[in-house]
Structure 1
Amino acid sequence: MYKITSEDKDLQKMVNKDRASLATTFSKNFEIQEKTLDLISKSIRHADFNRFDSNKIIWNVAGYVNILSYDLKVVVKNLVLAKEEWEKRYFVRQLALLAYEGMNDLLELLGKTFRRTRSTLSNHEKFIDELNTNVSRLNTFKSTREHSLKKIRNVSIAHRDRSSIEQLNVIYDITWSEGISIGTEFDQILNPIGGFLQNVINKSVVEFEELKTRNK
């Protein structure tokens, strides 16, 4: 019924051995995400109140990335620590929904408006190169994973095929280890984007004219 590979079995042994330490690591990561989102939320509201439009665009993208990253960590935690086969596949399905919609939204959010906002910063060619590198990673992930993510998303979680057999065929074909691999890949894409956005924010605080005018 369920597709269980040798990789799944090996991974299960590792998780069973390190379950407590894994749970602790996830909890520490959640604390960091909470603090980061609190800061971002306050910064977006501050930019909105003062009509710092360019600054708000950058903070908004940073907020989206951090919400996505936090959600991803929550899903992956539950996926990694799940014990029942159906439970594992449920969280892979949630992961497919999250990754599919997140990768497409990010490609739009990092598009023309964001690029135009950053073009006023000094040394913006360096930022463009870094942005292009991150977008390239996203596109590679999309080209590699989009078909399988879309199938899982459309048939078994976002829209749900009305044929229960079609749903079950997709669900039973999901492998736990592959789901964890997808989550790890996506996390490794989001983390550098977060670092890149932090660098842009640091630069914008010093150089955006709207902030200079306000601070005079």
Structure 2
Amino acid sequence: MYKITSEDRELQKMVNRDRASLAATFSKNFEVQEKTLNLISKSIQHADFNRFDSNKIIWNVSGYVNILSYDLKVVGKNLVLAKEEWEKRYFVRQLALLAYEGMNDLLELLGKIFRRTISMLSNHEKLIDELNTNVSRLNTFKSSREHSLKKIRNVSIAHRDRSSIEQLNVIYDITWSEGIEIATEFDQILNPIGGFLQSVINKSVVEFDELKNGSK
């Protein structure tokens, strides 16, 4: 029935031992994400109201990354702390949907318009190099994970197959440890993107003429 590997069993032992500590760590991360998203939300609204178009583009991408990161942490918490086998696979399915949509959206959001915007900043060659590094990580993740993520997404969560046995075959074949591995990989991609975007924001608030002219 359920595919349970030796890695799953070892992981379960670790989670059982450290459950309280893991839950506390997730809660602390949620607090940071809430504060960050509150700041981003206000900044996007401010840029929109004052028609700071270049800054809005950058803040919007930053907002998307932080929403995605927050959702990933919420799914990750529930995935790690899940006790029942179906529950574990439900959250792996949610993860597959989140990662599949997120990686493709980010590749578009970090594309032509974003590149053109940051090219107006000083020392933009360095920024473009850093952007290329982050995009390369995304593409590597997509190349290695797209097939399995798409299958889970299409058959069992976003576009459910009308054949119940096809759904069950996919669900039973999911392993808990692989789900956590995917969540960790994706988080390790999002974190550097977030740091990169912060450095872009720091330069943009100083250099863009639209901000020097004041706000309404």
After superposition, the C-alpha distances for 1:75-101 in whole angstroms (9 at most, x for unaligned) are: 000000000000000000000000000
1: CA distance, partners of 2:170 / 2:120? 48
2: CA distance, partners of 1:113 / 1:215? 24
2: CA distance, partners of 1:120 / 1:27? 39
Residue 49 of structure 2 is matched in structure 1 by 49
After superposition, the C-alpha distances for 1:154-203 in whole angstroms (9 at most, x for unaligned) are: 00000100000000000000000000000000000000000000000000
Residue 94 of structure 1 is matched in structure 2 by 94
1: CA distance, partners of 2:6 / 2:35? 39
After superposition, the C-alpha distances for 1:3-22 in whole angstroms (9 at most, x for unaligned) are: 00000000000000000000
Please state how far the C-alpha of 1:106 moved relative to its aligned partner: 0.1
Please state how far the C-alpha of 1:215 moved relative to its aligned partner: 6.7
1: CA distance, partners of 2:4 / 2:187? 24
Q: 1:162 is paired with a residue of what secondary structure?
A: coil
On the 8 A contact 2:103/2:142 being kept in 1, the answer is: yes
TM-score between the two structures when normalised by the length of structure 2: 0.99
2: CA distance, partners of 1:214 / 1:124? 24
2: CA distance, partners of 1:118 / 1:29? 29
The gaps in structure 2 that reach 5 residues or longer are: none
Structure 1 residue runs of 4 or more that deviate by more than 4 Å after TM superposition: none
On the 8 A contact 2:50/2:215 being kept in 1, the answer is: no
Please state how far the C-alpha of 1:214 moved relative to its aligned partner: 1.9
TM-score between the two structures when normalised by the length of structure 1: 0.99
Q: 1:214 is paired with a residue of what secondary structure?
A: coil
RMSD: 1.0
Please state how far the C-alpha of 1:31 moved relative to its aligned partner: 0.1
On the 8 A contact 2:93/2:157 being kept in 1, the answer is: yes
The gaps in structure 1 that reach 5 residues or longer are: none
On the 8 A contact 2:15/2:81 being kept in 1, the answer is: yes
The 5 Å alignment of 1:1-216 reads 1-214=1-214
Report how many residues are paired: 216
